[in-house]
């Protein structure tokens, strides 16, 4: 079984917080079927597509970096990236844990219709924001956020839109759908 889930901001991508008094909601509150597990992770501060499966081989194919499955993110960033920043993101960014693989990156306008985030991002009247679409083939911890920050444009909101051939298009926030039975 393979399930697409549109993970809300603030939700942990696991079924138990490991703490009885954790203030963060988990996947257990969304009526997902038993005995499925996330294929990869999506941090608490990020939203969007999370794939879940009961098939260990499929889980490995989706999550393990050696398979280089593309993951596409929509990132709302502080400022408007110039051509040099976009070129840096495309060629690979030097991070503390090494240089990232080249990414597909483009400024996007207009933005695909997204749900409202709760809570909304902080807005600074003196600093514009914009959106970029990034497709990466590795999955380092908070990678997209670290990449945009290294290019000089910190991420304000991050939505994983697509993993491989699967996307969260048409999937309401907190909703899931069976992709493969």
Q: Are 55 and 180 spatial neighbours (Cβ–Cβ below 8 Å)?
A: no
Residue in this structure with the two tokens 């400024």, named with its chain if needed? 107
User: Is 21 among the catalytic positions?
Assistant: no
Facing residues of 47 across strands? Answer: 159
Q: Is 158 exposed, middle or buried (0-12, 13-18, 19+ CB in 10 A)?
A: buried
Give me the helix-helix angle, 83-91 and 143-150, nearest 10°: 140
Phi, psi of 79 (to 5 degrees): 95, 180
Residue among 43, 54, 55, 129 flagged as catalytic: 43
Which residues are catalytically annotated? 43
């Amino acid at each position: 079984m393979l399930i697409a889930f549109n993970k809300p901001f603030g939700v942990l991508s696991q079924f138990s917080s490991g703490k009885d008094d954790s203030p963060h909601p988990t996947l257990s509150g969304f009526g997902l079927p038993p005995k499925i597990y996330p294929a990869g992770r999506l941090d608490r501060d990020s939203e969007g597509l999370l794939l879940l499966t009961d098939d260990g081989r499929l889980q490995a194919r989706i999550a393990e970096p050696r398979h280089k499955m593309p993951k596409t993110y929509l990132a709302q960033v502080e400022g408007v990236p110039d051509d040099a920043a976009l070129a840096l993101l495309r060629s690979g960014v030097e991070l503390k844990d090494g240089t990232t693989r080249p990414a597909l990156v483009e400024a996007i306008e207009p933005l695909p219709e997204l749900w409202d985030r709760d809570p909304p991002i902080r807005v600074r009247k003196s600093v514009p924001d914009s959106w970029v679409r990034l497709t990466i083939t590795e999955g380092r911890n908070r990678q997209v956020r670290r990449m945009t920050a290294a290019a000089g444009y910190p991420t304000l909101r991050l939505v994983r839109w697509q993993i491989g051939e699967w996307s969260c298009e048409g999937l309401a926030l907190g909703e899931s759908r069976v992709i493969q039975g």
